[in-house]
């Protein structure tokens, strides 16, 4: 095949490109410039897409003997990922920018351009596997559960899966990938993995949002509506948060309180006991299927609500309004805006953005 290898400058994408070359494919490397004012250097494992990362990707491509290009996707990234991130927080939701980047940038904008230029597929260093199933191509978990990234790929559609290539999915461990990079003479063999939100490399999401949307004093209330504190912007809080609340009124039982809900219209934050974070039902309207859609309107599955959360047995219900999922045991600290990915065994069925949650604990409990 003619393969476009997305090379982030990390060890995974470099080894993925190397395996594509070794498999006999015609490979071209590309690094995506996602910021017009990208930092020159990384700080440890924080952030990505810096000039240093672009240079690391180029060195890897040179080592592999493949053509290499840098494509400017900064405007698309700003519109589809950064602006979406800000808008979601302003709406009282908790977005996942990595999901949006995969959906809008790596497997939409990049794949679209790749196909226009005559490439057959885009190759990435994601840990996931593709399987030819009875209903067509299926997306499955990686062999290494510790590195499995099928959750963040749950946004891919059947058409996109048909043009993707994940060479690392069957690798038993990340240690083997690093050893392979070392053996191939790739300088990124021991480079730290990136984490945190790439466009907020210092990790201060609240401070970053305050700069973008400003501050506005509001109330922090308990489940009964009693005022227990104040804040400088509801956008700075997420469901499940415990630290940084600065409550002026202690809980009657003296136990810590957690953010249960963010109400952007009234600029109010609702707090309560940890047990009130238990969610007995989630639903959403923006959904997609990773392959063939389920045949039944109601089916058993597992639901996963974070990249590294444990999947929970559940029953999914499909109707004209979207997807509704009832877990066998309550989910912990779910917020609107998060992505719920549905699995059948190791197979990714699809995903939806959570619009509504129903507490498993009554208000007067």
Provide the annotated active-site residues: 101, 198
Q: What is the spatial distance between Cα 38 and Cα 245, in angstroms, rounded to a whole number?
A: 32
**Helical packing angle, 11-22 and 51-64, nearest 10°:** 20
Q: What is the spatial distance between Cα 211 and Cα 138, in angstroms, rounded to a whole number?
A: 42
Residue 154, C-beta contacts closer than 8 angstroms, at least 6 positions apart? 99, 139, 290, 339, 341, 342, 348, 350, 351
* Residue 208, helix vs strand vs coil: helix
List C-alpha distances in Å: 254 to 260, 299, 305: 17, 42, 30
Q: Is 27 within 8 Å of 131 (Cβ atoms)? A: no
Residue 301, C-beta contacts closer than 8 angstroms, at least 6 positions apart? 313, 314, 315, 316, 325, 342, 343, 344, 349
Closest to 177 (Cα-Cα) out of 15, 13, 7: 15
Q: What is the spatial distance between Cα 361 and Cα 365, in angstroms, rounded to a whole number?
A: 6
Structure tokens belonging to residue 16: 């993925």
List C-alpha distances in Å: 120 to 2, 156, 165: 5, 16, 10
The partner residues of 346 in beta bridges, in order of sequence, read: none
């Amino acid at each position: 095949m003619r393969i476009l290898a997305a090379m982030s400058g990390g060890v995974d994408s470099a080894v993925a490109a190397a395996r594509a070359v070794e498999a006999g494919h015609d490979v071209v490397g590309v690094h995506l410039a996602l910021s017009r004012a990208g930092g020159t250097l990384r700080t440890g494992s924080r952030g990505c897409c810096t000039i240093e990362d672009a240079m690391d990707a180029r060195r890897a491509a040179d080592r592999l003997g493949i053509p290499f290009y840098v494509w400017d996707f900064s405007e698309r990234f700003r519109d589809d990922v950064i602006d979406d991130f800000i808008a979601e927080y302003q709406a009282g939701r908790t977005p996942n920018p990595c999901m949006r980047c995969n959906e809008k940038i790596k497997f939409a904008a990049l794949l679209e351009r790749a196909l226009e230029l005559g490439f057959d597929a885009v190759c990435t260093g994601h840990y996931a596997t593709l399987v030819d199933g009875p209903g067509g191509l299926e997306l499955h978990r990686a062999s290494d559960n510790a590195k499995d990234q099928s959750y963040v790929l749950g946004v891919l559609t059947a058409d996109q899966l048909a043009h993707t290539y994940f060479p690392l999915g069957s690798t038993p461990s990340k240690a083997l990938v690093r050893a392979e990079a070392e053996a191939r003479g790739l300088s990124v063999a021991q480079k730290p993995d990136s984490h945190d939100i790439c466009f907020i490399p210092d990790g201060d999401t609240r401070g970053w949002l305050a700069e973008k949307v400003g501050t506005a004093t509001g109330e922090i209330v308990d489940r009964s509506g009693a005022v227990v504190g104040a804040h400088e912007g509801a956008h700075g809080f997420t469901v499940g948060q415990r630290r940084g609340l600065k409550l002026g009124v202690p809980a009657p039982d003296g136990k810590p309180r957690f953010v249960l809900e963010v109400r952007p219209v009234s600029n109010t934050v609702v707090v309560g006991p940890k047990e009130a974070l238990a969610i007995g039902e989630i639903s959403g309207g923006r959904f997609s299927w990773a392959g063939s859609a389920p045949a039944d309107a109601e089916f058993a599955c597992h639901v996963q609500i974070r990249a590294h959360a444990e999947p929970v047995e559940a029953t999914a219900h499909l109707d004209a309004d979207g997807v509704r999922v009832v877990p066998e045991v309550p989910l912990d600290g779910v917020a609107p805006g998060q992505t719920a990915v549905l699995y059948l065994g190791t197979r990714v069925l699809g995903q939806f953005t959570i619009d509504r949650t129903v507490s498993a604990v009554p208000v007067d409990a």
